Amino acid sequence: MTVIGYARVSSVGQSLDIQLKKLKSVACDKIYKEKGSGTTAARPEFQSCMSYIREGDTLIVTRLDRLARSVFHLAELSARFDKEGIKLVVIDQNIDTGTTTGRLMFNLLACIAEFENALRAERQKEGIERAKMNKVKFGRPSKTDATTRHAICQRRAEGAPIAELIKEFKLSQTSIYRALNCAETMQP
């Protein structure tokens, strides 16, 4: 059972000193530290920490926002820690998932995250439906117009291979096939 610390500050100009002092005071066996935004998944030290930590270990952070990118990310971590028997201690917020009260606090945060995620999904679905009713087109605009699609179909009917169409129209293979399929569906 290893005690692992994780410290992070958002920018290069900030100092890790206060977090490191707190982590050392609780006798961490290993401390991962990095400087970078918590909103990105590209946190190499965090990834190393998550790969290193094992069942029975304890992860210690000074505050929850040092660990997770969002409440949803926190819920994901909670599920993993529960499944793998990893204990989380948050020094400044007095959370210890090794205790009943600590698990309650942490799980309350996870439930709130799940609730927020469900609300966001509902709002997104409603927004998409409204946009469709207003005839909003989704996705990137087509690289071809009706004239170009007709020209591609005509050249293909004349026996031009796909590779030649790609060069001639300066489009990707996918765009050529999409233009051919679109033209087929538009025919009476």
Two tokens at 103?
Answer: 């698990």
Name residue, tokens 């709130």: 112
The pairing of strands 87-90 and 95-96 is antiparallel
| CB of 91 closer than 8 Å to CB of 62 | yes
**What residue spans of the chain are helical by DSSP H?**
17-25, 44-52, 71-84, 100-133, 146-157, 162-169, 173-186
Q: Which of 10, 37, 48, 172 is catalytic?
A: 10
Determine the Cα–Cα distance for residues 79 and 18; give it in Å rounded to an integer. 29
In the residue annotation, 70 being an active-site residue is answered as no
Cβ–Cβ under 8 Å, residues 153 and 165 = no
Angle of CA points 97, 95, 28, to nearest 5°: 80
Residues marked active site are found at 10
